[in-house]
Amino acid sequence: MSVSYGGDSIVFADGSVNSSGFIGHRNRIINGAMVVDQRNAGASITPAANAYTIDRWRFPASQASKFTLQQNAGSVTPPAGFKNYLGLTSTSSYSLLVGDYFGINQFVEANNTADLDWGTANAKTVTLSFWVRSSLTGTFGGGIRTGDGSNYSYPFSYTINSANTWEYKTITIPGPTAGTWGTGTSVGLDVWFSLGTGATFSGTAGAWAAANYVAPTGGTSVVGTNGATFYITGVQLERGSTASSFEYRSYGAELALCQRYYETSSYPNAGHDITSTQVSILWATSFATGQKYLVAKRSAPTITIYGRGGVAGSPTRTDNGAAITGTSTASNIGATGFWSVGLGQVLTAYSTFAVEIGYTASAEL
């Protein structure tokens, strides 16, 4: 493989160029190849509005129950070099209202965008690239915007030319010299792909605006056609004006990046009822677990405790297999672990038994 270097760019043998100033971890998108699905383990879901679906990908929607979503939905062959994709299927023929929006998006942590200098005179250009496939053709789009509600955005458009065919798209976005952009562990920017957006949240493609736009005006509405499909993978956002080949990180590295924001003790079974945590109880209303996360979190997460069968808040007694009644909750929660669990059941007699717990820890943006 031949590689040439000149100035601030590296040219690879396939002609792709990386001008980001570094090689490793140039992709600001996590799970862009859709390989990690801790919550659902590949099962089909009807996502709630603003729910996280496969790891790091969120489903913003103004109306409920308009899509099903699944890793590798429809079992089509992914584009060369990929094994997974995120697939959505419309379950209705819905006519958009002006304030409606449907999409998939990813909040990118500001720690991972600080070098872009957005909002300053030194703002850097970025390039978004991805593979997409739909049963519909026409003009599609999305937007990049601030994530803190300060309303600064860049709608973009792209064309799907052939139905049910994977197509590769690249979009170069000039760095914004205005807008308020997050810092630290807050949202640095929001990358959004539209599945149907009303006029309130649609704007002129290819220009920054002091508005909350997540789609180009006149974009195709996937939600408008019952049974319409939208599949996407290989999503990459990198510094520079040219898309380089997709940065395919090892599965272990990608999983760890996802677990900074969410982990479950039961993955990959997604039942929350598999655990190695057992502790002895001596007539008590709480116990210390010393549960350390697999990966330190972005911030102290929200912990949900589970027992056998995946019932939230109900650890399982190993002496009789019964669930602890009431709702058990974690406490002393930090970014690296939680250290005790308050039992929902007050024990009224001396008892010694072990408790099985599972958990989820969410520190999503």
pLDDT in tens, 159-209: 999 999 999 999 999 999 999 999 999 999 999 999 999 999 999 999 999
Q: Which residues make beta-bridge pairs with 170? A: 129
| Residue 274: per-residue pLDDT | 32
For the chain, percent helix, then strand, then coil, each to nearest 5?
5, 40, 55
User: What pLDDT score does 351 carry?
Assistant: 59
Q: Which amino acid is at 147?
A: G
* Tokens read off for 114: 């600080």
Look at 17-21, 22-26, 214-218, 349-353 and tell me which has the smallest mean pLDDT.
17-21
* 326 neighbors 342 (Cβ within 8 angstroms): no
344 pLDDT higher than 70: yes
Triad 259, 264, 270: Cα angle to 5°:
120
**C-beta of residue 292 within 8 angstroms of C-beta of residue 337:** yes
In this predicted structure, the answer to whether residue 295 has a pLDDT above a threshold of 50 is yes
Q: What is the pTM of this model?
A: 0.90
Structure confidence at residue 203 (pLDDT): 98
At residue 314, the pLDDT reads: 86
Q: Mean pLDDT score of the chain, rounded to an integer? A: 88
DSSP-assigned beta bridge partners for residue 41: none
Residues 192/214, Cβ–Cβ less than 8 Å: yes
Structure tokens given for 303: 């912990």
Q: Which of 339, 340, 342 is nearest to 327 (CA)?
A: 342
How far is it, in rounded angstroms, from Cα 94 to Cα 79?
30
- Mapped onto helix, strand or coil, the DSSP state of residue 147 is coil
Nearest to 68 by CA among 87, 81, 84: 87
Domains recognised in the chain with CATH numbers: 3-259 (2.60.120.260), 262-362 (2.60.40)
What is the rounded radius of gyration, in angstroms, for the C-alpha atoms of the chain?
A: 23
Angstrom distance (rounded) from CA 259 to CA 263: 5
